[in-house]
Structure 1
Amino acid sequence: MQRTLITLTINGEEREVAVLPHHTLMEVLREDLGLTGTKHGCELGECGACTILLDGEPALSCLVLPLAVQDRAITTIEGLERSGRIHPLQEAFAELGAAQCGYCTPGMLLAGAALLAKNPRPTPTKMKEALAGNLCRCTGYTKIYEALEKVAERGEVEKHETATPASSSNGIGGKRQ
């Protein structure tokens, strides 16, 4: 099958990649670009493990075709690091033990970071709504919500600039697997 050469803006960096027309963005990120922080879950858009940000909004990369997002900013978990510092939400996850097996962690972090970018002091209801599309089988969500609350209370997100160059971060949720 013929591959198509496209340019994607991922974590603030333009990347050329030859894609198969039937491959999803999740497959291209993981298999072609080596960004394995985006997890391969259900392939049905039901679990949230493959969550990325498109122009700052959470999206399920298993349901997105790369050809459809050539003109959009894509942020993966590897792109949350800024100036050598992991995102405050990643720090809070580590401090509170919000990551158990870690499989849902990248999607949770990206959905949470998107919420905090729009609303630095969300209510518990808004937090639950923002994470509703991300399933976790290990934590019971309590520590995840506590991490969001901690970052909101500290007001740290305003200090953490978002969406620029890719990094090789191995911070919480960005570990290559």
Structure 2
Amino acid sequence: MGASNIMIRPYGDSDARAVGILIADTFSEFNLAPLAPDQRDLFLGPFLHARSPDKDHQVAIARAIRSEMVFVAERQGEILGVLRGRTTRLGSLFVRGDQHRRGIGRGLVTRFEQECARQGGGAIKVAATLYAVPFYLEMGYRRTTGVRAYRGFGGTGLVYQPMKKVLKRKQLTGEEVTG
């Protein structure tokens, strides 16, 4: 099943629980697996409690998801992917593992890039996990430096690749650029 039946839409507050679980599961499986268990828990931060019914946990998760732009990929009411960012930075992209290579991540990034261009953004930076580098290269992002150490929610031991893409107005908005 391809991305043709996937709807990319803005995130809503009612999506917080499903998005929190998606982030916890995907980040754990594809990025944190090589780390020691205590470091995995630290990197997950509030997402460690994504399945908790505790209201305080859910409030912390909703707060961690917030960003200038958050888009979700949904099929038949089920959230399969999420992207968070702001005009100059793609903060995070998660697509459920069994949905990889189906165009969902590409759809989320394309929508995000279009919105960044619409808001006047000229370039987007991303701190790509090593797992995600090939995807971002396919999307036109380029490495900007060597790998760096990442510290999220107090965890250590995860590395990332700084990357950047210069947006092309015509490509993103369909407008002809002259000059």
TM-score (norm 1): 0.29
TM-score (norm 2): 0.29
Structure number with the higher helix fraction is 2
> Relative CO higher for 1 or 2, CA cutoff 8 Å, sep ≥ 6?
1
